[in-house]
Amino acid sequence: MKIAYVTSQKRGETDRLLSEIAGQLQATGKSLVGIVKVTDYESSFENGCDSKVRVLPKGPEITITQNLGAGSDACRLDPSAITEAVSRVEAGSMENADLFILNKFGPEEAAGRGFCNVIGTALDQGVPVLVGVGGASAGAFEDFAGGLAVTLLDDAQTILDWVHDAIAEGAASTAR
């Protein structure tokens, strides 16, 4: 069972890294499942607090935040959009997947919802899991992972090295 997570102190860096890595891995023929943030999505709010994700491997893109009006500083996360993203990932196949990526273990996952069951399914099927974790959800993620997750530096090469090792280890155990 392979699970790792990435946290960055730089705003948006984890999303950028995971999206970039997903693109690189897909370009080399790796089969990915999960979601990554659409990094070129233009926020319509000054604080940049709206998001769109892409369901792997080929879409669709889903806006996961809701418009709460000008001046609102409440959480814009749209639970129904998260549910749609989860459903889309669950509807896909993990068979032959090389890696499951979740751009962010966020409030829904911290509450035991969101992608928690999908992460468990991936791990049960021997698919390595790579998760982005923000500071606010770090404790909840550590509780969820039960001490089994590896912490990775927010560096593309470090992450890619872990991914390649996890994929190779999974292939070796499958061959036995």
Percent of the chain with pLDDT over 90: 68
- Stretch 144-151: mean pLDDT: 95
Whether the predicted pLDDT of 135 surpasses 70? yes
pLDDT digits (tens, 9 = 90+) for 67-82: 665 665 555 678 888 8
Q: Residue 58 carries which side chain, given as an amino acid letter? A: K
pLDDT bracket for residue 107 (50, 70, 90): confident
What's the pLDDT score for residue 39? 79
The pTM score is 0.90
Alpha carbon of residue 144 to chain centroid: 15
Residue 176 has pLDDT above 50, yes or no: no
CA dist 143 and 19 (Å) reads 25
80: which 2 tokens? 């129904």
Q: Which H or E element spans position 132?
A: strand 129-133
Per-domain boundaries in the chain: 3-66+76-137+156-175
Q: pLDDT band for position 175 (50/70/90)?
A: low
Give tens-digit pLDDT for 6-59: 999 898 899 999 999 999 999 999 999 999 999 775 656 554 556 789 999 999
pLDDT in the model for residue 45? 55
Of 3.20.20.80, 3.40.50.300, 3.30.70.1110, 3.40.1390.10, the CATH number of 3-66+76-137+156-175 is 3.40.50.300
Instruction: For residue 144, name the pLDDT band (cuts at 50, 70, 90).
Output: very high
Residue 142 has pLDDT above 60, yes or no: yes
Q: Strand 150-152 and strand 3-6: pairing?
A: parallel
